[in-house]
Amino acid sequence: MSELKKIALKILSNGKGILAADESTGTMTKRLESVNVPSTPENRLLFREILFSSESMKDCIGGVILYDETIKQNSTSGKTISEIISSSGALPGIKVDTGAKIFASSNEEKITEGLDGLRERLKEYYKLGARFTKWRGVFNISNKYPSKLSISANAHALARYSALVQECQMVPIVEPELLMDGNHTADDCFNKTSEVLKRCFEDLVAHNVDLSGIILKPNMILAGANSDKKISNEEVAKLTLKCLKESVPKSVPGIAFLSGGQTEIQATENLNLINKYNDTNFIMSFSYGRALQQSALKFWSKNINDIKGTQKIFNHRANMNTFAAQGKWSAELEQK
């Protein structure tokens, strides 16, 4: 087994998943201001450090995706953030794209940037403790979108990024996200997601990326947020599995879903059903941001010094998603 595959399996095995704590300073500022907490470097670090030192990190979290600011910070104890994460048995990871910008050829779509200078940045992040990385390509769904041009450009970028990451002995998370925004149907989401995934894997293969040493981070198959044709959770699970079985090569070791605007409970319940119906060899786990953090953030905002109380909320959510990653979650467990 390759070292890259070992890393991927360490992150996702035994019901573990990924804590996506890679919000940019701008995004984190919006999150903190939404709960009336000033967005200072100290407050951003304090909230993240509370999560990273929680009890559930040992059993529920296999990897944490960090932002550039965070991986370079030292904790209040003097340890680096990477050291705190590693001490729980989880692996530090890093978001390496520089954001999605308006696509010049299709100004209602976006292209993710960050390839310039990436090789040098990856070497620095490796020295800082990172062992996996993340790059997000983002796609709209409508009658016109995503366009062939957008799919081609973003798939090419994801492949170039992945090849550079593996060259640096890290595991790339490949994240092609088709957004929930809009009034599209679940069938639209299924068809467009399938098209994007197939093109992404064509480009990954063309760039000699070792598919056994990546983690795929896709959206689930859902109707648009404004659609009047919502589908049941069972249909979400079955359509998502069908899409992945038809579009993802069997050599990919694991799939870590993004929550993509779902509520905390929806993201957990849908992941649980996917695992109940999972008849593949893929590990199906989670790479959640808001769906792991939102309740903890709201609680913490009332008293930013209540570390134990905040960790209790986070631990519960992490445990629920670990149950879901094993197909063992139930609504009753939420009340315990």
| pTM for the model | 0.97
CB 270, CB 236: distance < 8 Å: yes
Q: What is the DSSP letter of 248?
A: S
Q: Mind listing the domains of the chain with CATH numbers?
A: 3-335 (3.20.20.70)
How many Å apart are CA 113 and CA 24, to the nearest integer?
A: 14
How many Å apart are CA 317 and CA 296, to the nearest integer?
A: 9
Mind telling me the catalytic residues?
Answer: 175, 217
Q: State the pLDDT at residue 331.
A: 93
pLDDT reading at 316 higher than 80? yes
DSSP string covering 150-182: HHHHHHHHHHHHHHHHHHTT-EEEEEEEEP--S
Q: Which residues contact 303 (CB under 8 A, 6 or more apart)?
A: 309
50-70: average pLDDT? 97
Q: State the pLDDT at residue 335.
A: 87
> Coil, strand or helix: which one is 255?
strand
Rounded alpha-carbon distances, angstroms, from residue 336 to 309, 312, 329: 16, 12, 12
CB 21, CB 64: distance < 8 Å: yes
274-299: average pLDDT? 97
Tens of pLDDT, residues 168-214: 999 999 999 999 999 999 999 999 999 999 999 999 999 999 999 99
Cis peptide before 92 (omega within 30 of 0): no
pLDDT reading at 271 higher than 90? yes
Q: What percent of the chain has pLDDT over 70?
A: 100
Mean pLDDT of the chain: 96
Percentage helix, strand, coil for the chain under 3-state DSSP, each rounded to 5: 50, 15, 35
Map tokens 């593949």 to a residue: 280
How many Å apart are CA 295 and CA 281, to the nearest integer?
A: 32
Closest by CA position to 219, among listed 251, 170, 184: 184
Q: State the pLDDT at residue 104.
A: 92
Tens of pLDDT, residues 95-134: 999 999 999 988 899 999 999 999 999 999 999 999 999 9
pLDDT reading at 320 higher than 80? yes
Confidence of residue 230 (pLDDT cuts 50, 70, 90): very high
How many Å apart are CA 132 and CA 59, to the nearest integer?
A: 19
CB 321, CB 270: distance < 8 Å: no
- Residue 139: left (phi > 0), alpha (psi -120 to 50), or beta? beta
Q: State the pLDDT at residue 33.
A: 93
pLDDT reading at 63 higher than 90? yes
How many Å apart are CA 15 and CA 22, to the nearest integer?
A: 21
> Coil, strand or helix: which one is 253?
coil
Q: State the pLDDT at residue 103.
A: 94
291-317: average pLDDT? 96
Q: State the pLDDT at residue 263.
A: 95
Closest by CA position to 223, among listed 207, 206, 239, 205: 239
22-38: average pLDDT? 93
> Coil, strand or helix: which one is 18?
strand
pLDDT reading at 336 higher than 80? no
Phi first, then psi: give them for residue 179, nearest 5 degrees: -70, 150
- Residue 94: left (phi > 0), alpha (psi -120 to 50), or beta? beta
Q: State the pLDDT at residue 333.
A: 95
How many Å apart are CA 66 and CA 71, to the nearest integer?
A: 6
